[in-house]
A and B are shown apart, each in its own frame.
Chain A
């Protein structure tokens, strides 16, 4: 094939990718609008929402996912990394709705909670996985994802221990499969337990692995719970670079016994989720009064909600069970037990740290 033919093929592939990306984007926006309409219409008819907008959005995303899979065009839709983009933009906008003093107060407690819970859950999952005789690399991925922040932590851990692609795909699916029921159940469990919005938010943020489901569960509970859950989760996310660095160090020194190949501390910054900086800047701008409180309420909050709704649609749209069916029951059992332990530990830590007024 000549160079000209190759260039032509490249251009056609790029054009097809762009068209698929544009159509996927439009589909997400359309589903987000329908989710919003369904939530608002049920509220107008029943006097309360039949289902909160995050749930409508995830359900519509799942329904579209099934329809697209049945039509055989799923690979084109997954070309767009929608969840991460919409979620992170929504979170940057959320920064503008929270006073910087609150971000720092909740973030400081969130960091203490993260260090305590993440450490305990990481080692517990590691030992459970050893007990269930899982592969060492899969063990590292599962321990990182259940303890820290789901898919992003699994990606960081996969880089640290050079895990197989199939392991990463499997753990990424596990994270979402466990996050969805928790997103639905935990806000109602928090209400049934009579937890304050702040403790409920800290519990949700400290327990659910994937950030999108944390924000969704918080939104289902209340506005305050959503803000607290998000800040607590961002505190955990901020630790991801340290966790990846320590894991890589442990891996080469203890497991592989190659101390000459120690990872660089630059890994910490490389893995740091930069959008957290956008969240802090937005919060600082709003706290300085540069955005205008009425504008925040009438423009920033709805914009934030639209981006988050699109992210919730993408959770349903991007879920794939292909990797899930190939790994057997043992990793599933480990993940389940670790999630139960994480739920209990996060509740204790949230109650101890956020239940008092200090």
Chain B
């Protein structure tokens, strides 16, 4: 299985709560590290 396939499977099997924590805090960490500085709205 490819890396992307494994990640998709892992995400699909995670509960929404843990997925929300991983993605939410992951994005916050990227913002904190200066990798995301501006998002259009």
Interface residues of A (CB under 8 A from B): 18, 21, 36, 81, 84-85, 88-93, 95-96, 273-275, 277-278, 281-282, 285-286, 290-292, 295-296, 298-303, 305-306
Whether B7 sits at the interface, judged by CB under 8 Å, is no
Is A92 touching B18 in the complex (CB atoms < 8 A)? no
Question: With a CB–CB cut-off of 8 A, which chain B residues contact A290?
Answer: 32
**A contact face: mostly helix, strand, loop, or mixed:** helix
CB contact between A298 and one of B21, B23, B39 (< 8 Å): that residue = B39
Q: Give bound CA distance, A38 to B29, whole Å.
A: 31
> Which residue of chain B lies nearest to A22 when distances are taken between CB atoms in the complex?
B8
Q: Give bound CA distance, A285 to B12, whole Å.
A: 27
Q: Give bound CA distance, A302 to B39, whole Å.
A: 6
> Which residue of chain B lies nearest to A92 when distances are taken between CB atoms in the complex?
B24
Q: Min CB distance, A2 to chain B, in Å?
A: 24
Q: Min CB distance, A228 to chain B, in Å?
A: 20
**B contact face: mostly helix, strand, loop, or mixed:** helix
From known contacts A274-B21, A285-B32, A298-B39, infer whether A81 and B27 are also in contact, taking CB-CB under 8 Å.
Answer: no
Is B25 touching A292 in the complex (CB atoms < 8 A)? no
Is B24 touching A278 in the complex (CB atoms < 8 A)? yes
CB contact between A92 and one of B25, B36, B37, B39 (< 8 Å): that residue = B25
From known contacts A84-B16, A275-B20, infer whether A282 and B41 are also in contact, taking CB-CB under 8 Å.
Answer: no
Is A278 touching B31 in the complex (CB atoms < 8 A)? no
Q: Give bound CA distance, A83 to B38, whole Å.
A: 25
Is A298 touching B28 in the complex (CB atoms < 8 A)? no
> Which residue of chain A lies nearest to B5 when distances are taken between CB atoms in the complex?
A18
> Which residue of chain A lies nearest to B23 when distances are taken between CB atoms in the complex?
A89
Q: Give bound CA distance, A302 to B37, whole Å.
A: 11
User: A18-B8, A81-B16, A92-B20 are known contacts; what are 8 more A-B pairs with Cβ within 8 Å?
Assistant: A88-B17, A88-B20, A92-B23, A274-B15, A278-B20, A286-B28, A295-B34, A299-B37
Q: Min CB distance, A120 to chain B, in Å?
A: 28
> Which residue of chain B lies nearest to A95 when distances are taken between CB atoms in the complex?
B24
Q: Min CB distance, A55 to chain B, in Å?
A: 17
> Which residue of chain B lies nearest to A291 when distances are taken between CB atoms in the complex?
B32
Question: With a CB–CB cut-off of 8 A, which chain A residues contact B16?
Answer: 81, 84-85, 88, 275
